[in-house]
Structure 1
Amino acid sequence: MSTERRAPLDRKRVADTALKLLNDVGLDGLSLRAIARELDVKAPALYWHFKDKQALLDEMATEMYRRMVAGTALDPGDTWQERLRKSSHGLRGELRGYRDGAKVFSGSRFTGIEHAEQMEDTLRLFTAAGFTLAQAVRATATTYLYTLGFVTEEQGVEPLPDERREGYDVAERARRMSDFPLAARAGAEIFADYDRHFEEGLELVLAGIAVRFGGS
């Protein structure tokens, strides 16, 4: 009989296992039963920790956020623009590390209040720069939604950074749309060079915030 002790089954271990499995099977293939097999336990054991798949997704999103915060250093001397750039790039980088990462994160509810510390710090930075609280919320939320939406679309083409779905060959698309030359050429801007695409879009959002709300 083996005397090796397994790590206790808790919410973090289940969420960590689910995030690892996500890259293999994607969101559609992720189930409590599949996770239980990875953990070598019976599926009902997971229901002590998560009542359903959405509860698990909430914990997965929370763990993704914890990892993102751990990997994104924020400077008290940031301008509001610098803060939004750092948080947006940090979020995109974390989401792209998982197949369907943006879908998991979207609509999930954090299971703790770890996000409150960073949120408080960012809102203080914005209000100190001359934004009202409502303006600060709108600016940060809009930038967050831009990033989440961008990565959702990006992962529809590139599920992981080293993969590309069939059907998104830019040259083939241009050939099929040759009767519509501008639309055909637009494919190179839409479905390629996502790093530049994201950066330029983010700067458009920041410029719009500055025009609409000002802030120093």
Structure 2
Amino acid sequence: MASQRSPKLDKKQVVETALRLLNEVGLDGLTLRTIARELDVQAPALYWHFKNKQALLDEMATEMYRRMVADARIPADATWQERILVSQRGLRTALLGYRDGAKVFSGTRFTGIEHAVEMEANLRALVDAGFSVPQAVRATSTAFYFTLGFVTEEQGVWPLPGERREGYDVEERAARMADFPLAASTGAEVFQNYEEGFEEGLRLLIAGVGARYGIK
């Protein structure tokens, strides 16, 4: 009966199934009905664990974060610049592991407080370097927003590694925009070399933070 908890279903199983299906169907195709069908249960059984899709996305983002921090640790003696670099590289790598990973992560809230460990260490490094707490928050949150936005655009071209969407042929784009040579030349920078572009963007951001607040 829909009013009874399914004995073969638990919260972790639902989240793991949802993350696996995400790579197959994407965020738009990931419905509670699709997940229930994969788990061989009725859709109402999922509502014991998640009241709606947003609640599921919150837990998915939390699990993505757990997996991310389990794979990479920031050295305790890292500088504030190194902390931003390492944490955002790790976030980008984690998001790229899932179709629409950046979209899932955006706008969600963590269901636990595991993130407080890394957050506290990163803020402490910036405060010890001379940042005020509000400045440290602005610096770290701006880096986070940069990564989310960057990966969102990157996954618009490459939904998954090795899977490129149609419509992003740089040479064809340049030919169509031949009357606008500067704009035409941007294709190689905008739609290719994402690794290099991300690294350069992060370093520009860090340099800007340091210059803005006068901290080296």
User: How does the TM-score come out when normalised to structure 2?
Assistant: 0.95
* Structure 2 partner of 1:137: 137
2: CA distance, partners of 1:215 / 1:113: 30
* Structure 2 partner of 1:116: 116
How far is the alpha carbon of 1:214 from its aligned partner?
2.9
Which amino acid in the other structure matches residue 120 of structure 1?
E
In the superposition, relative to structure 1, how do residues 85 and 170 fare at CA in structure 2: closer, same or farther (>3 Å)?
same
2: CA distance, partners of 1:7 / 1:158: 39
Describe the SS at the equivalent of 1:110: coil
* Structure 1 partner of 2:58: 58
* Structure 2 partner of 1:152: 152
* Structure 1 partner of 2:162: 162
Which amino acid in the other structure matches residue 201 of structure 1?
G
- Which segment drifts farther, 19-28 or 112-121? 112-121
Q: Does 1:213 align with 2:213?
A: yes
Describe the SS at the equivalent of 1:147: helix
Q: Is the 8 A contact 1:61 1:105 kept in 2?
A: yes
2: CA distance, partners of 1:71 / 1:18: 21
* Structure 1 partner of 2:102: 102
Q: Is the 8 A contact 1:131 1:214 kept in 2?
A: no
How far is the alpha carbon of 1:13 from its aligned partner?
1.3
How far is the alpha carbon of 1:215 from its aligned partner?
2.9
Q: Does 1:35 align with 2:35?
A: yes
* Structure 2 partner of 1:45: 45
Describe the SS at the equivalent of 2:186: helix
Q: Does 1:75 align with 2:103?
A: no
Deviation per residue, 1:68-115 (Å, 9 max, x gap): 111111111100000000000000000000000000000001111111
How far is the alpha carbon of 1:37 from its aligned partner?
1.2
2: CA distance, partners of 1:155 / 1:82: 25
2: CA distance, partners of 1:32 / 1:46: 7
* Structure 2 partner of 1:126: 126
* Structure 2 partner of 1:3: none
Alignment gaps of 5+ in structure 2: 1-5
How far is the alpha carbon of 1:7 from its aligned partner?
8.9
Deviation per residue, 1:156-207 (Å, 9 max, x gap): 1111111111000101101111111111111111000100011111110000
2: CA distance, partners of 1:95 / 1:18: 15
2: CA distance, partners of 1:7 / 1:35: 17
Q: Does 1:201 align with 2:215?
A: no
Q: Aligned residues, how many? A: 211
Name the Cα RMSD after superposition.
Answer: 1.3
2: CA distance, partners of 1:30 / 1:190: 29
Which amino acid in the other structure matches residue 16 of structure 1?
E
Identity %: 68
* Structure 1 partner of 2:90: 90
Which amino acid in the other structure matches residue 77 of structure 2?
G
